[in-house]
Amino acid sequence: MKIVVTKEIKDEDKRVAITPDTVKTLVKAGFDVMIENGAGSESFISDEQYVKAGANIVSGAADLLTQADVLLKVNPPSLKEIDSLKSGCVVISFLYAFNNKDIVDALVRKNISAFSMDAVPRTTKAQRMDALSSQASLGGYKAVMMGANALGKIFPLMMTAAGTITPAKTLIFGAGVAGLQALATAKRLGSVVEVTDIRPGTKEEVESIGGRFLQVEGDDSVKVEGGYVKEVSEEYLRKQKEMINKHVADADLVITTAAVLGRKSPVLISAEMVETMKTGAVIVDLAAESGGNCALTQVGKTIIHNGVTIIGERNLPGLLPQNSSEMYSRNISTLFLYLADNEGFKWDLQDEITKGCLITHKGEIVHEATKTLFNT
């Protein structure tokens, strides 16, 4: 099988799907690896490094895509890329099928089997394939760095001859992978950190890292699936906003990470709440691309509203392309080598991992959740 990797084209993403170390593994396993020239340049990987690892470098993506038996990507393939692929090809990438019906429909029409990295089951068995977690961890780290850079004060307590500087206060919405990494990073920098999350079991994790957990009593409307909140009532969100309102007003840095599977992200910080914040405070909204947790977030932009800086960067892991590519490469290669060997794909549709992340196959949608959503 010919494995093809092209340069990412979405929003100037600097990541690349595989690194030279992964190329060595795939070549050793008996696969031909073909990479578009310059595909890894923005992740600080030269064509020469890929060649040394055993890959073939090809100029331009158009001809390369027509040769692919397997296309490995970070972002979902574009409609133009799908059109260039041959029938029966396999694509493995982030797909976000719930939000990309046109892409899923194109994959079905072209008879392309697509595995989605964001649909890999979040189980112990699939842990090394969990690209959502690896990228979210880097996003949580980068959120604190961006917040610290935009903040007009230092994070730690500092006692000087000129007086004592009190530590900055950080408030984090969400104790998932990104939130916990943000908590750990902010604590290392000396900030006092508070965290709020509606999922059961997160309090222990937060407190074990040194954060203060802000808790709202849950109700039966809170549904969690695969580590993400699938459903939550408006009443619960109202109570949460009331509880954290004063904490938002007192925070120097607020980081939001709340995502709802397949839906627009909930608005946790209203425009009115922003008005109560300190002049010079900063909000970093990790959910910007899926609608934003702050009502005033502008996707891909940093704005200042009433003295509060609101950062709506859409792709924080992409700002750390060297590390994010290394981690993603391990994730996607582990999944690929689980699904296939040099004789072909196993197509074990009863296997938990295969069934969990296979979206399209043999000209139809086979992923039950995606099929149900598109038919409603």
Query: Domains in the chain, start-ordered, CATH in brackets?
Result: 2-119+322-374 (3.40.50.720), 136-314 (3.40.50.720)
Q: Is 57 helix (H, G, I), strand (E, B) or coil?
A: strand
Q: Which residues contact 362 (CB under 8 A, 6 or more apart)?
A: 111, 113
Q: Which of 93, 113, 116, 133 is catalytic?
A: 133
Q: Answer yes or no: 328 catalytic.
A: no
pLDDT tens for each residue of 197-215? 887 778 899 999 999 999 8
Nearest to 331 by CA among 43, 132, 125: 132
Per DSSP, the residues of 78-114 read PHHHHHHSPTT-EEEE---GGG-HHHHHHHHHTT-EE
pTM, rounded to two decimals: 0.90
Q: Answer yes or no: 133 catalytic.
A: yes
- CA–CA separation, 97 and 374 (whole Å): 10
Q: Answer yes or no: 228 catalytic.
A: yes
Q: Answer yes or no: 59 catalytic.
A: no
Place of tokens 């959910």: 287
Tokens of 87: 């029938």
Q: Which of 49, 67, 105, 122 is catalytic?
A: 122
pLDDT tens for each residue of 212-232? 999 876 555 555 555 555 566
Q: Answer yes or no: 122 catalytic.
A: yes
Q: What pLDDT sits at residue 66?
A: 96
Q: Is 310 helix (H, G, I), strand (E, B) or coil?
A: strand
Task: Give me the numbers of helices (H) and strands (E) for the chain, helices first please.
Answer: 13, 21
Q: What pLDDT sits at residue 226?
A: 55
Residues 58/60/66/70 CA torsion (nearest 10 deg): 60
pLDDT tens for each residue of 77-122? 999 999 999 999 999 999 999 989 999 999 999 999 999 999 999 9
